[in-house]
């Protein structure tokens, strides 16, 4: 990927049993520079990239992918489906 892509979009489908019993939800992510996480089309986390309009590459901060980081998701409750 080096010197070939500025943005990579990945999608992961998963199933949850008894979604109404989940109290916290997080994501273990290894990222280089920035990421934005969505749950059923709604943003639930972001690191290293400013909010705003336009290109995803605007406002990106430098971050080396060394160790996975655990990120708590916010506002996920209304987007998790049974």
Averages of pLDDT over runs of 10 residues in the chain (82 residues) are 79 86 90 87 87 60 77 89 72
For residue 49, the cross-strand partners are 60
Provide the terminal-to-terminal Cα distance of the chain, rounded to the nearest Å: 36
Quote the DSSP letter at residue 31: -
Residue 81 burial (10 A CB sphere; 0-12, 13-18, 19+): exposed
Q: Whole-structure pTM over 0.85, yes or no?
A: no
At residue 63, the pLDDT reads 64
At residue 70, the pLDDT reads 94
């Amino acid at each position: 990927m080096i010197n070939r892509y500025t943005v990579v979009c990945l999608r992961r489908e998963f199933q949850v049993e008894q979604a109404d019993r989940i109290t916290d939800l997080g994501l273990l992510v290894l990222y280089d520079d920035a990421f934005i996480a969505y749950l059923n089309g709604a943003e639930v986390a972001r690191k290293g990239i400013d909010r705003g309009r336009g290109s995803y590459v605007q406002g990106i901060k430098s971050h080396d992918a060394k160790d996975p980081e655990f990120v708590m998701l916010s506002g996920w409750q209304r987007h998790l489906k049974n």
